[in-house]
Amino acid sequence: MSTRTRLHTLLDLCDPEDGRRAFAFFADGRTEWDAVTVSEVDKRARAIAVVLADVASPGTRALLCFEPGLDFHAAFLGCLYAGIIAVPVAPLDGTRTSLKVGRIESVVASCDPELLLSNGMTFAKCLPIIEETPPLAALVRVAVDEVDPSHATRWRRPDIKPETVAYLQYSSGSTGEPKGVALTHDNVLHNLALIHENLRRPSDGDGLPRPPSVSWLPSHYNMGLIGGVLDPLYSGRTAHLFPAAVFVRSPLSWLRMISQLGRADSCAPNFALDLCARRVSDAQLTGLDLSGWEVALIGGEPVRAATLDRFCEVFGRAGFRREALVPGYGLAESTVMVTCAPVGEGPAVLRVDPGELARGRAVPVEPPGGRRLVSSGPLPESVVIAGAAEGEVGEILVSGPSVGLGYWERDDPAFHAGVLRTGDLGFAFDGELFVTGRAKEVIIVAGANHHPHDLEATAEAAHLAIRPLGCCVLGIDDGTEERVVVLAEVMPDAPAEEVEMAVRRAVHTGHGVRVHEVVQLPPGTLPLTASGKLQRQACRATYLGVGQRP
């Protein structure tokens, strides 16, 4: 830890003499496609930095638009080494109809970059789209895989300070207009140290290094960037990486890689555990050994007790330990992590009266009743619940060195005097933080607050014809009342009337909420972010704007 505490900027993460494997990439989730040592990625980054410094000044923004692979890692570090502000975005797919084109255009309008970084293959595939899109066509293109490594000898360290902006982290696309969080070198180093300390375990005291990590999360997503790019360098571990598309097609690929490594850490959103429990068959379970999965950090979206139970029930047969589950809470505005449960203790679950919770109070009830909420871990000093006593729901406020400077070129009230208004709702109970939802996504019916995630879980379970993870619940204010609309992806040839009645009945019985409309959609219709979360604003906009149908 002594070496890490002496880090002043992210430029100090790599030791140019370190021959340890830093990153290994598996294109199909099975076969190693590429791998680099710390010294190799450092040399590539220095060479890229020289090329960037020849065409742009420090502080210039650069879009990083990469398909899964290790070119992103060298490009991201290269930006840091040149004093260029990196702006990771989703990769283009070469089609004009891609929603990603419009989103990237919005990011360009937000941060006014001068550079577009990718590799030669992506530029070749997407060149027509780039040239037909004026905001992208105007950018200077740099194919980082074509940079001569010998340029590294010309690198000179730029004038970088802890307070210098390192990169802009844009949201993964679930909350409408993109806003880039300006994160400094100091913000990121503090959060890396916080993550390292929060994930402390007995083996650290025994002198064992941290185990390898496994990640399929996209590098432009905050959990993927920290977990798959920066934490491995900070913690001195090797990251085993593969594409998110491989995981979605075959959730087994994630578990198989963890099993093969023996000791491993891996983080993911709640939906990934749910997908594994639903899609991995008993036959596939045979041969898996998950007893060496030390830390399964779960965050990025609400963590559900039912999902954790189901995952443990299924994969406990493969040696998975419930104690390995580490629920956490974080957001891009505070780099990534705010807090998490202690390693080795397993998730703490609190049962509360759902009616009282809808009125803003957490009132514990005895099992088997109540709504089960998963603790995000001990309430740190950096977190307060605005205007709320213990057990009262309020907005979560976060402060401390991990909180970014604000949104790039925006005066937003979310950041004020060093305090971040997260827009998330939660409460403190017995020293623990419980997150209940997002303030802006709350659906208010008859004066009671209901969170879409809860209604969606109920609607999804109402009928077997509804696709798993295929529901979006919207609160539509028509000026007189809040109408509840359920968008549900339904399997072909399903009995439409039966499905609709089942959804209405389940939501009313479970939550006392009347559903005004059930819109049944073909599978694959609802827009998702790169990390698999619903793009709620896109669902809402499409519902309201195109004949009230996605």
Q: What is the pLDDT of residues 219-247, one digit of tens each?
A: 999 999 999 999 999 999 999 999 999 99
Contact 299, 338 (CB under 8 A): no
Position 98: which residue type? S
273 and 359 fall within a common domain:
yes
Q: Return the CATH number at 312.
A: 3.40.50.12780
Place of tokens 């305090």: 419
> How many whole angstroms separate alpha carbon 330 and alpha carbon 344?
20
> How many whole angstroms separate alpha carbon 370 and alpha carbon 363?
9
Handedness of CA 120, 122, 125, 131 (dihedral sign): negative
- Whether 201 is in a domain gets the answer no
- The pLDDT tens digits for 308-363 are 999 999 999 999 999 999 999 999 999 999 999 999 999 999 999 988 998 899 99
pLDDT for residue 476: 84
- Whether 234 is in a domain gets the answer no
- Whether 227 is in a domain gets the answer no
Please state, as a whole number, how many other Cβ atoms lie within 10 Å of the Cβ of residue 209: 13
Strands 165-170 and 140-143: unpaired
Contact 426, 393 (CB under 8 A): yes
Of 406, 441, 476, the one marking the end of a domain is 441
User: What is the SS3 assignment for 178?
Assistant: coil
Contact 17, 39 (CB under 8 A): yes
- Whether 10 is in a domain gets the answer yes
pLDDT for residue 441: 77
Interior angle at CA 439, CA 438 and CA 445, nearest 5: 110
- Whether 466 is in a domain gets the answer yes
pLDDT for residue 477: 74
pTM of the full predicted structure?
A: 0.88
Given a cut of 90, whether residue 478 has pLDDT beyond it is no
421 and 485 fall within a common domain:
no
Domain count, the chain: 3
Given a cut of 50, whether residue 175 has pLDDT beyond it is no
> How many whole angstroms separate alpha carbon 532 and alpha carbon 541?
19
pLDDT band at 302 (very low <50, low <70, confident <90, very high): confident
Given a cut of 70, whether residue 453 has pLDDT beyond it is yes
111 and 97 fall within a common domain:
yes
pLDDT for residue 56: 98
> How many whole angstroms separate alpha carbon 206 and alpha carbon 203?
5
The stretch 446-457 carries a mean pLDDT of: 83
Strands 264-268 and 239-241: unpaired
432 and 502 fall within a common domain:
no
455 and 432 fall within a common domain:
no
- Show the 3-state SS of 263-321: CEEEEECHHHHHHHHHHCCHHHHCCCCCCCEEEEEECCCCCCHHHHHHHHHHHHHHCCC
The stretch 297-316 carries a mean pLDDT of: 93
- Whether 221 is in a domain gets the answer no
Given a cut of 90, whether residue 538 has pLDDT beyond it is no
Across the chain, mean pLDDT equals 92
Residue 454's domain spans which residues? 443-545
Cβ-in-10-Å burial (0-12, 13-18, 19+) of 109 comes to exposed
Handedness of CA 113, 119, 120, 126 (dihedral sign): negative
pLDDT for residue 354: 87
Percent of the chain predicted with pLDDT > 70: 96
- Whether 116 is in a domain gets the answer yes
Q: Return the CATH number at 475.
A: 3.30.300.30
Contact 56, 165 (CB under 8 A): no
> How many whole angstroms separate alpha carbon 311 and alpha carbon 320?
9
- Whether 97 is in a domain gets the answer yes
341 and 405 fall within a common domain:
yes
45 and 164 fall within a common domain:
yes
> How many whole angstroms separate alpha carbon 550 and alpha carbon 518?
12
pLDDT band at 547 (very low <50, low <70, confident <90, very high): very low
542 or 427, higher pLDDT: 427
35 and 94 fall within a common domain:
yes
pLDDT for residue 2: 40
50, 388, 421 from 424: Cα distances, Å: 42, 14, 8
The stretch 98-113 carries a mean pLDDT of: 86
User: What is the SS3 assignment for 116?
Assistant: strand
pLDDT for residue 1: 37
Of 407, 423, 441, the one marking the end of a domain is 441
> How many whole angstroms separate alpha carbon 359 and alpha carbon 384?
20
455 and 483 fall within a common domain:
yes
486 and 350 fall within a common domain:
no
394 and 497 fall within a common domain:
no
The stretch 265-282 carries a mean pLDDT of: 94
Of 390, 418, 441, the one marking the end of a domain is 441
- The pLDDT tens digits for 27-46 are 999 999 999 999 999 999 99
87 and 173 fall within a common domain:
yes
| Nearest alpha carbon to residue 231 among 266, 184, 272, 181 | 266
Contact 59, 115 (CB under 8 A): no
Given a cut of 80, whether residue 431 has pLDDT beyond it is yes
